[in-house]
Amino acid sequence: MILAVSSLKPPYPRYRGRFAPSPTGPLHAGSLASALGSWLDARSNQGSWLVRIEDLDVPRCIAGMDQRILAQLQACGLFWDGEVIWQSHQSKAYQSALETLYSDRQIYPCRCSRQQITSALSSQGKLRARNQEQVYPGTCRNGHVWQVQLPNNPSGSAWRLALKPEQQICFTDAEFGPQEQNLNGDVGDFVLRRADDVVAYQLAVVVDDTQQGITHIVRGADLLSNTARQIYLQRVLGYPTPHYRHLPLVLDPHGEKLSKQTQAIEINTASDAAVLQALQAAALHLGLSGLDGGQGQTIAAWLLEATHAWAARTKECSPTQN
């Protein structure tokens, strides 16, 4: 089927989207749906689509998995623009953001163990259920002797962001609508660099999205609850805030998010027919029905049809102006 480009949305001024997989396992039905959703959103806005490998958490990463994921994306016809970046090559940028925050006295070192945090919260009657995030009680907030420069990881400390009071963050998610979170009450001073010196996801993602000029973040709904923290960090660092769209998660029969832990099956890219089947399933999950995934269809033609279907779907349901 030939579809005119004119039926797409008008080009968004310098739309830049991205897919940011962690190389902890191959693409499965869930991560393919995120990759496809962000690719379709970028292409339907005639924008660019970048790929970033989030490989900071070394113990969870699997050697060679970055290349496997990139090969899977290519097999699915999800080609990216520009150079792929690896977070493990970005340490200077993270260090510089930490130094800026330190010179503004917005981060402080913390040596509390999990156990110490639990007992402090429990003595204040603020301990939450085990499956809930604990709000850091602020034990180390005032103990730091400030120096001119960010000290070199003093005796294995984590670094926490000192939240300003009353941080009620509001934003509109293009899929889930208006959102708000009180960071002080729900999260507390969160960690930006762990005690083992690994830069935390919240800081890395904000620095990288800004450095890559990302204007639209389209990713799985499991990350929706992180977004207020990221918007707060963008504000304190003086970075722009992108548009956000969180995609419904693919769940297993027990209602759990598909992941390596739940033994999610790698997508089959052995033939074009298998790829089309995986893409068709991902598209259905994203609410795109009626696409022709039949025999004789090429992956490129299918993706073009899906791009138009995505443009129509997001025109109907988007609460923000893309």
Binding site for ligand GLU (CB under 6 A): 20-22, 54, 205, 219, 223
Q: How far is the CB of 205 from ligand GLU (least distance, A)?
A: 5
* Dist. CA 296–CA 298, nearest whole Å: 6
- Minimum distance, C-beta of residue 230 to ligand GLU, in the bound complex (Å): 8
Q: What is the DSSP string of 61-78?
A: --TTHHHHHHHHHHHTT-
Which residues make beta-bridge pairs with 257?
A: 251
**Choice between 53 and 163, CB closer to ligand GLU:** 53
Could you tell me if 218 and 147 are in contact, meaning their C-beta atoms sit under 8 angstroms apart?
no
Residue 217 or 304 having the CB closest to ligand GLU: 217
Q: Tell the smallest beta-carbon distance from residue 20 to ligand GLU (Å).
A: 4
- CA gyration radius, the chain: 21
* Smallest separation, CB 219 to ligand GLU (Å): 4
Whole-angstrom CA distances from 13 to 10, 212, 269 are 9, 15, 34
Q: Which is nearer to ligand GLU, 20 or 32 (CB)?
A: 20
Q: How far is the CB of 290 from ligand GLU (least distance, A)?
A: 28
161 CB contacts (<8 Å, ≥6 apart)? Answer: 101, 106, 107, 189, 190, 191, 192, 233, 236
Q: What is the DSSP string of 133-147?
A: PPPP--TTTT-----
The Cα–Cα gap between 211 and 127 comes to 38
Q: How far is the CB of 306 from ligand GLU (least distance, A)?
A: 21
Between 54 and 305, CB nearer to ligand GLU: 54
38 or 157, CB closer to ligand GLU? 38
* Rounded distance between C-alpha atoms, residue 112 and residue 32, angstroms: 38
* Contact between residue 315 and residue 309 where contact means Cβ atoms under 8 Å apart: no
Residue 170 burial class via C-beta count within 10 angstroms: exposed 0-12, middle 13-18, buried 19 and up: exposed
> ∠ at Cα 191 (37, 181), nearest 5°?
60
Nearer to ligand GLU, 65 or 223 (CB): 223
Cβ–Cβ < 8 Å for 317, 13: no
Count the helix, strand and coil residues of the chain and give each as a percent rounded to the nearest 5. 40, 15, 45
Whole-number minimum distance, CB 313 to ligand GLU, in Å? 21
CB of 272 to ligand GLU, least distance (A): 26
20/158 with CB nearer ligand GLU: 20
Q: Can you name the residues that pair with 296 across neighbouring β-strands?
A: none
- Compare residues 20 and 311 and give the one whose CB is closer to ligand GLU: 20
